[in-house]
Structure 1
Amino acid sequence: MTPNNTPLPDAGTIYADVIVPLALRQTYTFSVPEEYVPSLEPGLRVEVQFGKNKHYTGIVRRLHGKAPGHKVKPILSVIDVAPLLTPAQLQLWDWMASYYACTLGEVMNAGLPSHLKLTSETIITLGPLFSDDAAQLDDQEYLIVEALTLQQQLTLKDVRDILQVKTVYPVIRRLLDRRIVFLQEELQERYRPKVVNCVRFSPAYRTEQEQVAAFELVSRSELQTAVLVEFFQVVRQQPFVRRADLTKRTGATDSVIKALVKKGIFELYEREVSRIGGGEEDTISAQPMSEQQIGALAQVRGLLVEKKPVLIHGVTGSGKTRVYLELMQEVIDAGQQVLYLLPEIALTGQIVKRLQTVLGDKITVYHSRLNNMERVEIWQAVLAGKTSVVGPRSALFLPFSQLGLVVIDEEHDPSYKQQEPNPRYNGRDVAVYLAHLHGAKTLLGTATPSLESWENARRGKYGLVSMHERFGGLALPEVVLADAREDDGKGNHHPFFTPTLLREIKATLERGEQVILFQNRRGFAPVYFCPTCNYTVQCVNCDVSLTYHKYQHRLRCHCCGYVLSPPDSCPACAHPSMQLGGTGTEKIEDELKIFLPEARMGRMDLDTVRGKDALANLLASFEAGDLDILVGTQMVTKGLDFERVGLVGIISADQLLRFPDFRADERAFHLMTQVAGRAGRKHRRGKVIIQAYDRQHPVLTDVLNNDWQNFIERESRHRQETGFPPYRRMIHLQLRHPKRHVVEEAAKLLGSWLAHALGDCVSQPFEPSVARLRTNYLQELVVRLQPDPVAVQRVKSIVTRAVDKLGVTEGLSGVKVAVDVDPY
């Protein structure tokens, strides 16, 4: 009996509960044709018909012999030979759907690459690598390929009509796996196989005797001889030799390679390689560990024996990554897999480089900027137990078969929380549960633990290991609070840069060091207004002001993407001159060029890192010293490690502290401490300048004194007194509809139902600070309750039933309700 199955009857119809990629409250049951009974098992993909003529890829969740209370349709075809999902994955999906009050179909949509989710509307096209060799195709495959040469693209309905059969998914899967056809979105991603330029002996020099003659032919050239010797050494160790490797190892130029080609000794060719290896550099030994690292490693090993998660609280630059690496190496050497989670794609390039320095090609990067074919390659490798993975929260859904260790780096980071669409999960919490399912060890690491993780450690649910010193004995950066009102002594006051910050920037650059400036708003200016009547240009779809982007000369909404050309005069009073208010990263960069025209600057925000390689190129330029100053949003706080950074400037600390959120103080402390940690991480003590108007704010005092303990104790007391997480559980409900009166009526009705069932733990409906978003008016409700798992599950069931009831209420069925468990 396989997992998730009830015992199958000896005779009679077999039924399969199938997960389809739709927001259905339960799985749908299909009958299993007799020919599929011996091979069908949970985790396999099947083709099913849903509705009148819609076909979907579904996942078999359970097989049983109990007939449902409705007329069943048969499974049309089985797509896979072996299960695509492991039993542990199906358990994880069940848990996520239950915990986050969403549906299995929504979890499936989040968890599977689109290449693995075929539907009737899927469009296929002929792959760029296909040659006209029809010998490799069977009759059905040939008909599809022939049609694509004439029509360029087909829907799966078209394929069904061409083949005159209902079951086409297995045929399409075979063509996709062999890269004969591609999904349309893959070509939009401009999929190309990854190729490297390689060198090999020409046919005239393939034998040992001929190769000896080659040395005689190049004997007069030292460089050509050196290249030939190096080629012999490399070709014995690797199946192919990269052209770049030969020039790098010998110091020869391309002209030397070309000369060997001209003499007929070498020939050049391109070789397609997998994108998932990544071990381009030789594995090297890491530096000796410090006493603090050795002690922390011993503590972690001891706590992991107790089979509970371990929280490593280490100051920035303390060497936590090295501790992770030692444990990762042990797990990989034991034949198990590792999942290393990061909060942002921004971190993957630098971290992967560091991990591969020690682990070589045993670790693979996975994230949303990979195209579909790359993701499927990694999926299959992980399912086969061949590789470990580093990536952001989406890597949680990979089919680990031998998971031995989960590392959650920067565990405090809010980027681990999925905001929309469903499932609105927290990657940190799901990772802990995933490790539990596999019996794997769990490490959480950060310089600024979240209050939730700290409370778990305080209660003994997590083990705790502290690392209070920076690696190499380097002192923590000096933190200076600068009065944002400060002038230059002549009565001149700049709105963005205090004289203190400007002096330190100039001194840092004169020492040959680099500067990071943090401003948590992108664009040039967040407000475009009329100085006469105070009219502000707003988004037509959302209740937010449009942000001015100078480079594009456009006003843009950061919520829905609406774009508008800036009006020359006020639309309300016709005043001829509009003004800009506030400050974004683009403006900081622009203004700084006035003071430091010779400085080389880069900007790191969502506008500058949209391309697949844009972020990696920017970080590489800064790391190589090609940039002097990096201006960025919170991306620059995410654990990046640059040895030349001598100064970090926080432009406006007040913005962080005045955010309307119960976590505002915690997040401000985390952001400022993390961005401060980018300074002076290698050779000398760095400096941090924090500009603020309210310099007496207790959070700033704690950052100034690096007093995390005082901050966490004060924040903990405040949360307990006011009834906020982690001392209360929260469920947040947001209602949306294009008409204000409809959403207000729906919120009142839903609120009354919940209040009747749950009492005063339900808030009154309220309008959020942004009352309209993407043409929809918003109303919100919050449920706060004691952190009792049984009670929380009961409340989630009540909320789910109430939301479903609202969905069938006359006049209110168009209201969309998003349920967010453990919000913010």
Structure 2
Amino acid sequence: MQQDKKYIDVILPLAVPKVYSYSVPEELRATIQFGIRVEVPLRNKLYSALVIGEKDKIDGLQKARDIRSIIDEEPIISQKQYTLWQWMSQYYMTTIGEVMNVALPTGLKLSSTTKLIATPSIEDHFSNLTEKEYLLAEAIAIQQEITIDKAQEIVEQKTVYPIIKSLLDKQILFIKEELVEKFKPKMEDYIRFTDLYRNQDTNIPKAFDLVARSEKQTRALLSYVQLSRNQDWIPKTDLYKLAQIDNSVIKALQKKSIFEVEAKEVSRISKKIVEEKSVPDLNPFQADTIKEIRSQFEAGTDNILLFGITGSGKTRIYIDLIKETIAQGKQVLYLLPEIALTTQIVDRLLTVFDGDIGVYHSKMSNNQRVELWNASLEGKHLILGARSSLFLPFKDLGLIIIDEEHDPSYKQTDPAPRYSARDTALYLAKLYNSKVILGSATPSLETFWNARQGKYGIVRLFERHGESELPDIEIVDLKQQYKKGLMRSLFSKDLKDAIDTALANNEQVLVFQNRRGYSPALQCKVCDFCAQCPNCDVSLTVHHYFEELRCHYCGYRHKLPQMCPQCGFDKLDRLGFGTEKIENEIVKVFPEAKVARLDFDTAKTKNAFERILSRFKSQDIDILVGTQMITKGLDFDNIAIVGVLNADKILYFPDYKASERAFQLFTQVAGRAGRRAKKGKVILQTFNPDHPVVRETRDHDFKAFYNRELVERKRFLYPPFYRMISITVKHKKADVASDVAHILVGRLKKQLGKRVIGPTVPGISRLRGMYQQQIIIKMEKNIKIIQQVKTHLDQNIKEILEMEGKKSTRIVCNVDP
């Protein structure tokens, strides 16, 4: 009978608009609880689903299928996490399954088509396995790769997920998808004495007798004895460094059975070598800032904007606040906009907090992420991470630091949920009753407005740390430079002279251009042919080093043509310039300088990024060219000149936030100069020196920028005065996309009136093979109105997508774009 049955509601990591109900077999009822995963069938596939509720009955017309098995003994998420997921689903107009898909590590989202592969040394792990585990492990060792469907056939049972989970936990299997990220465990060779010398100290003199004829082997032995006072296993690299030897010496000692060597997997964070240096004392301004923050927290203010100019030492303030929170037994989440750009911050925190810090981001392997997931649940004190670290299961979160809160990288654009990590962090803090610090030298207009309105507290820090001063910013009029014939390649006379002087003084230079590649377009002089992407309505970017044309939107690549494919003319113009061309031109103009480039092409991996920064820090690079990567996280003593080659590309980007982002970028990149005793200089090249953002950047005048921009935002009904939803209609056929967009706008205008703008064709009319139409909704900052708008929008989209010929249309809603 139905009333004798027990049912559960589950969510799946799929873009489905509802939760699913399943019945629970009697033998599994006692172990069902919120937050565990269960194995469920759906449309001839099996999934690991998450239990979110129990009930005694379901709709009479509904027929519930049985769950197959229970995967977890303990919940993998907390009730607070699920509450966060629900809020994100509702606020950002997405399904709860899409939130779950982003939130959970790969290994916690298994399905029957998931592919499993073996660890390279799988045979070494066959002991201590159950019969079923052994069967599956042996099969994968032979076949190299199998699906979960195939695993069911091998063990001859349907409930295979618990077996797979056990093998994943024992690191015998891996999910194939995680290896697409090209993660390889970091292995390091460790050395120790063999048993003969390790267990009997009296035998150590005999070891020295064996190597008496070799100075290098004797030196290696002495160094090992010195290093091994506190631990047996010593990193081989430490021995190399202390004894000044190479691997041939170690091999000789292995042959004599004195040393044994073992490769061990080490953490990329806990084993990271950092400079041993004490944290500098707080200067009087920093001390006053911390007192003010404490005072506001004690007075009941939960969210505080720390408005500190570049080089004022905000990270030093964070360190004291982190220490205080940890001393209270609470956890700290330190959010950063891009994990690859935070090398120096990670190093600084490691010198203070040693092993009590975890780093979490989406590019880590599944095992690393699950390990930190569990550590967070158990109370890991300090978590440093990018957007995805918001989804960790915190035990007792006391403080969230949102560093560089203005950074657009905090906003996820694809895939859904299209959430702002900054705003989501504020909601997360409410759930845990924790405090929030939003730090920036150039706060977003929304955050500064909230602070001015009293919604957030605000603490200002307008003094640079130590003896450093804000740099002088010189504006160069490119029109005059070209008119007078003063340009040398891409460099004005002022910029070239400044770089020459810096190089003569053994100082370093940053050159900023927010466009990678060699040239943004390839054009024929005769027939005006311009190389276009076949999937997107954009020109292909020339990448000279790779001899390729590339699309920076869809990834399309084509070999660089030697002649025009349309008329056959053999001289093609490379129009404009990106970082690659700038690097080449610098080599011509400054032939004695050591030049490097920091952009997505040269720093695709965190290690490559760190290598470039390490070279720059050791002054092995004189001039560093880069995109916005060089505006964040660089804190070096020797930067004298920062050059912005073309400010206009950023100023005239078709976006209502273009002026704000230009001011932020210029100010942040300028802040890299003169961060120690000597004052730095910034040279900003532009064809429009009278542009208000250029003047405000030159004068370091955030107040003037803020007040002017606020007037424009208010006049044209933009945030922070209004809320926005951007709707993009996509289809492979332009006429279908246009038709759907006009139907949607027609319906919405009847319900919402002038709040609806569009449809219009965006600047890029076709992207990844899909034609686009854009609609904007501007809403008053009224919770009731916003909810009504979302309800109307959601209902209309559902009805339109049910229409004949419209089902293949994609309609994407981006809340707070």
**TM-score higher than 0.5:** yes
- Tell me the CA shift for residue 274 of structure 1: 4.3
Which amino acid counterpart does residue 444 of structure 2 have in structure 1? S
Give the equivalent residue in structure 1 for 2:235: 242
User: For residue 302 of structure 1, what is the amino acid of its counterpart?
Assistant: S
Report matched runs for 1:112-151 at 5 Å.
112-131=104-123, 134-151=126-143
Q: Which position in structure 2 is the counterpart of 1:67?
A: 58
**In structure 1, C-alpha distance between the alignment counterparts of 2:197 and 2:476, rounded to whole Å:** 71
**Does residue 182 of the first structure (1) align with residue 174 of the second (2)?**
yes
Q: Distance in 2 between matches of 1:616 and 1:144?
A: 40
Q: Percent identity of the aligned residues? A: 44
- Amino acid in the other structure paired with 2:367: M
1:697 matched to 2:691:
yes
Q: For residue 446 of structure 1, what is the aligned residue in structure 2? A: 440
SS state of the match for residue 136, structure 1? coil
Distance 2:553 2:265 in 1: 41
Match of 1:16 in 2: 8
Contact map agreement 1:276 1:378 (CA 8 A) in 2: no
Offset of residue 72 of structure 1:
0.9
Q: Deviations over 1:501-559 (max 9, x none)?
A: 11111111111111111101111111111233433221111111111111112111111
Within the candidate set 242, 261, 270, 2:263 is matched to 270
Task: Give the equivalent residue in structure 2 for 1:417.
Answer: 411
Deviation at 1:188, TM superposition (A): 4.2
| SS in structure 1 of the partner of residue 412 of structure 2 | coil
Q: Which residue of 2 aligns with 1:378?
A: 372
Residue type of the partner of 1:819? C
* 2:760 aligned with 1:766: yes
8 Å Cα contact 1:344-1:638 kept in structure 2: no
Question: Partner amino acid for 1:750?
Answer: L
Alignment counterpart, residue 478 of structure 1, candidates 463, 467, 472? 472
Per the alignment, in what secondary structure is the counterpart of residue 350 of structure 1?
helix
Q: 1:161 aligns with which of 153, 159, 162?
A: 153
Q: 146-155 vs 499-508, which deviates more? A: 146-155
**What letter is aligned with 1:288?**
D
One-letter amino acid matched to 1:92: L
- In 1: Cα distance, 2:139 partner to 2:214 partner: 56
Q: Counterpart of 2:797?
A: 803
Aligned equivalents of 1:293, 1:233: Cα separation in 2: 41
Selected match of 1:203 from 172, 186, 195: 195
Cα deviation, residue 232, structure 1: 5.8
Q: What displacement does 1:215 show?
A: 9.3
Residue of structure 2 in register with 1:429 after alignment: 423
Q: C-alpha displacement at 1:492, in angstroms?
A: 5.1
Matches within 5 A, 1:308-327: 308-327=302-321
> Which position in structure 1 is the counterpart of 2:82?
90
Amino acid at match of 1:322: R
Amino acid of the residue matched to residue 563 of structure 1? R
1:567 shift after superposition: 3.6
* TM superposition shift of 1:285: 3.1
Instruction: Using the TM superposition, give the Cα deviation of residue 266 of structure 1 relative to its aligned residue in structure 2, in angstroms.
Output: 3.9
CA distance in 2 between counterparts of 1:495 and 1:66 reads: 76
Question: Which stretch shows the higher mean deviation, 440-449 or 330-339?
Answer: 330-339
| 1:351 aligned partner | 345
Letter in 2 for 1:565: K
Q: Per-residue CA shift, 1:133-153, capped at 9, x if unaligned?
A: 643221111221232233222
1:675 shift after superposition: 0.3
Q: What whole-Å deviation, never above 9, does each CA across 1:238-274 have from its counterpart, x for those lacking one?
A: 4643233345467777777677667655433323334
Root mean square deviation, CA, Å: 2.5
Find the residue that maps to 1:135 and give its secondary structure.
coil
The answer as to whether partners of 2:486 and 2:492 remain within 8 angstroms in 1 is no
**Which residue does the alignment assign to 1:665?**
659
Task: Check whether the contact 1:129–1:179 (CA below 8 A) recurs between aligned residues.
Answer: no
Answer with 238-247 or 551-560: which moved more: 238-247
Contact 1:281 1:360 in 2 (8 A): no
Residue equivalent to 1:304: 297
Determine helix, strand or coil for the equivalent of 2:75: coil
Of 55, 58, 70, the residue aligned with 2:49 is 58
SS in 1 for 2:758: coil
- The corresponding residue for 1:515 is 509
Q: Which of 9, 23, 26 is the matching residue for 1:31?
A: 23
3-state DSSP of counterpart to 1:813: coil
CA separation in 2, counterparts of 1:645 and 1:471?
16
Tell me the CA shift for residue 226 of structure 1: 8.3
Which residue of 774, 783, 787 maps to 2:777?
783
TM-score (norm 1): 0.94
Change (3 A) 1:70 1:324: same
Name the counterpart of 1:565. 559
1:486/1:493 contact within 8 Å kept? no
Specify the code of the residue in structure 2 equivalent to 1:776: M
Deviation track 1:715-772 (CA, whole Å, cap 9, x = no partner) reads 1111111110111000110000011111111011111111122121111311111111
Q: Where does residue 285 of structure 1 map in the other structure?
A: 278
DSSP-derived class of the 1:485 partner: helix
Q: 1:175 to 1:263 in 2, by over 3 A?
A: closer
Q: 2 CA distance for matches of 1:219 and 1:287?
A: 47
CA distance in 2, matches of 1:714, 1:231: 66
CA contact (8 A) 1:348 1:390 kept: no
The Cα shift of 1:308 comes to: 1.2
Matching residue's letter, 2:578:
G
Query: Per the alignment, do residues 528 and 208 of structure 1 end up closer, same or farther by CA in structure 2, a change over 3 Å counting?
Result: same
Tell me, in whole angstroms, the C-alpha distance in 1 between the residues paired with 2:72 and 2:234.
36
Name the counterpart of 1:3: none
1:816 correspondence with 2:810: yes
Please point out which of 12, 36, 45 is paired with 2:37. 45
What runs of 5+ residues in structure 2 fail to find an aligned partner?
none
Task: State the secondary structure of the residue aligned to 1:504.
Answer: helix
Shift of the 575–287 alpha-carbon distance from structure 1 to 2, 3 Å rule, reads same
Aligned pair in 2 of structure 1 residues 224, 327: CA closer, same or farther (>3 Å)?
A: farther
Whether the aligned pair in 2 keeps the contact of 1:278 and 1:364 (CA below 8 Å) is no
- CA deviation after TM superposition for structure 1 residue 307, in Å: 4.3
- Corresponding position of 1:706: 700
Distance 1:219 1:133, change over 3 A: closer
Aligned-residue offset at 1:348: 2.6
Give matches, 1:391-402, under 5 Å.
391-402=385-396
CA contact (8 A) 1:283 1:360 kept: no
Q: What is the correspondence of 1:334-733 to structure 2 with a 5 Å cutoff?
A: 334-487=328-481, 491=485, 493-494=487-488, 496-733=490-727
| In 2: Cα distance, 1:209 partner to 1:818 partner | 71
For 1:229 and 1:821, the matched residues in 2 are separated by 64
Question: Structure 1's 178 and 441: CA in aligned 2 closer, same or farther, altered over 3 A?
Answer: same
Q: Secondary structure at the match of 2:16?
A: coil
Gaps of 5+ in 1: 1-9
Contact 2:467/2:676 (8 A) holds in 1 = no
1:748 lines up with 2:742 in the alignment = yes
Cα deviation, 1:72-107, whole Å, max 9, x if unaligned, reads: 112111111111112211111111101100001111
Q: Give the C-alpha shift of residue 19 in structure 1.
A: 1.0
Question: Take 1:593 and 1:274, find their aligned partners in 2: how far apart are those partners?
Answer: 39
CA distance in 1, matches of 2:632, 2:511: 14
Equivalent in the alignment of 1:5: none
Match of 1:333 in 2: 327
Residues 237 and 430 (structure 1), Cα distance of their counterparts in 2 relative to 1, 3 Å cut: farther
Q: Is the 8 A contact 1:276 1:377 kept in 2?
A: no
Structure 1 distance, partners of 2:483, 2:16, is 67
Secondary structure in 2 aligned to 1:555?
strand
Letter in 1 for 2:805: G
Deviation at 1:711, TM superposition (A): 0.7
For each residue in 1:104-152, what CA deviation from the matched residue of structure 2 results, as whole angstroms up to 9, or x when unmatched?
1111111112122111111112211212564322111122123223322
Asked whether 1:104 is paired with 2:105, we answer no
Change in CA separation of 1:146 and 1:262 when aligned onto 2, cut-off 3 Å: closer
Q: Contact between 1:199 and 1:269, CA under 8 Å: does it hold in 2? A: yes
What is the rounded CA distance, in whole Å, between the counterparts of 1:652 and 1:245 in structure 2? 46
Distance 1:237 1:87 in 2: 44
